[in-house]
Structures are given as structure tokens and as C-alpha cells.
Chains A and B, each alone.
Chain A
């Protein structure tokens, strides 16, 4: 079964600090990769996605993620976080042409002002 691992359960950092959240998946075939964010009290929304092409993907709100196929990883980064980035972040993966998305358990990010 395909699984998605997010290494950090809870990350606490100060404003302007850099953020990197790890995501690894176990499936070895061709995959699509996603990062979703869930702000407090709000719905899950897509931050960015990778289907093919340039492995460095730019998303909304200054986020980016890099797909490293050899490491089965899709880490999320932001060079300088803001208080408003406080949220829960979910990595998700699916095989190409398979609608089933596998989600990681999520990483809670708390940004202190």
C-alpha cells in the first residue's frame, strides 16, 4: 500500500524564519504530488502541485516544493514565514491515472509573532 510520511509533527518558529517540511512517499511508480494547507477553522486548500516537468514547483503565498525522485521526496519550503502561515500542512500523493490520493498525517506549523 502506498504511504506518505511527514517527518515533523509540530513545528514552531518565529516570523521571518525559514520553513522546510519533509514529505516522503513509498510508491515507486510515476506519481502526482500535492501540498494542501488547512488554516484554523478553514477548509483544506491546495498550496501547490507537481505533475511533471520542472521539479521545483512554485505555489501560492510564497511556498515552493522540490520533487526529488531519487529520494521519493517532495519537501515544502518557504524562505520567510509570517504569522498568517500558522496552519496544518498536508502532503498528498497519487499514482498517475489513479484518483486515490494518499495523505500524510499532517504537520502543524505555529508561527510566533
Chain B
């Protein structure tokens, strides 16, 4: 248990659905991250928030929409996804952006039909 929780743990959705992934950290960290983990590929950084402000959008398609209402919560809103978006979506946090040790949540396994 790292202090970073993610819900749901598994999600199956159709291409026309709208769903949201939630991440919560109980570590008092100020930076939060979304990563995509596909089989046998390096983790891909998607979004970074620092003190609720987005500092990075790593060329992510607009069908992924992040939201960070406060430093403890991070959402990833999903709509009109494609089957190739099926992956494990990981949330992470760090004390500050410049503190490099990131703590990861368990991930949400997303399947797009």
C-alpha cells in the first residue's frame, strides 16, 4: 500500500461510453501524474499536475481529459475511446515536481470494446 488509491480497478467500456478514473493520494504530495502502461512498452507519461495546475500534456488525444480539483485528487475523464486505448492506467504522486521519487497507485485496467 503506497498511499495512492485508484478506482475502479477494472473497467470495461464501449467506444461510445463516457467514464472517469479516479485517483486519490493520502501522502500530502503536491504533484500528481497519469501514466499509460501497455504490454511490453515503456510507461507513457500522459499528464502532470503541480499544485492543481497542469504542467504537462504529453500529446495526449482529447478523448482523455484530466481534472485535478485539489492536490489530493486526480481524475481522468474518458469519452469515445478506441480499442487501442485499452491498457493499465497508473496514477502517481510525488512530494514536489522536483522530488523525483514517485509513488504509484495499483492502476485501472481499462478494456475498450
* Cβ B43 vs Cβ A103 within 8 A: yes
Total residues of chain B contacting the partner, CB 8 A: 23
| Binary per-residue interface labels of chain B (83-104) against chain A in the complex, 1 for a CB within 8 Å, 0 otherwise | 0000000101010011011111
Q: Which of B48, B56, B104 contacts A43 (CB 8 A)?
A: B104
Complex alpha-carbon distance, A91 and B103, angstroms: 15
B2 within 8 A of A: yes
Contact with A along B30-62 (1 / 0, CB 8 A): 010000000011110100100000001000000
Q: Which residues from B are CB-within-8-Å of A46? A: 101, 103
Q: Known contacts being A100-B45, A103-B43, A105-B41, is A43 close to B102, with CB within 8 Å?
A: no
Mark A residues whose CB is within 8 Å of B: 4, 9, 32, 34, 36, 42-46, 49, 51, 90, 92, 94, 97, 99-106
Residues of chain B touching chain A, judged by Cβ–Cβ distance below 8 Å, are: 2, 4, 31, 40-43, 45, 48, 56, 90, 92, 94, 97-98, 100-107
10 interchain pairs (CB within 8 A)? A4-B42, A43-B2, A44-B92, A49-B100, A99-B94, A99-B97, A101-B43, A103-B42, A103-B43, A105-B40
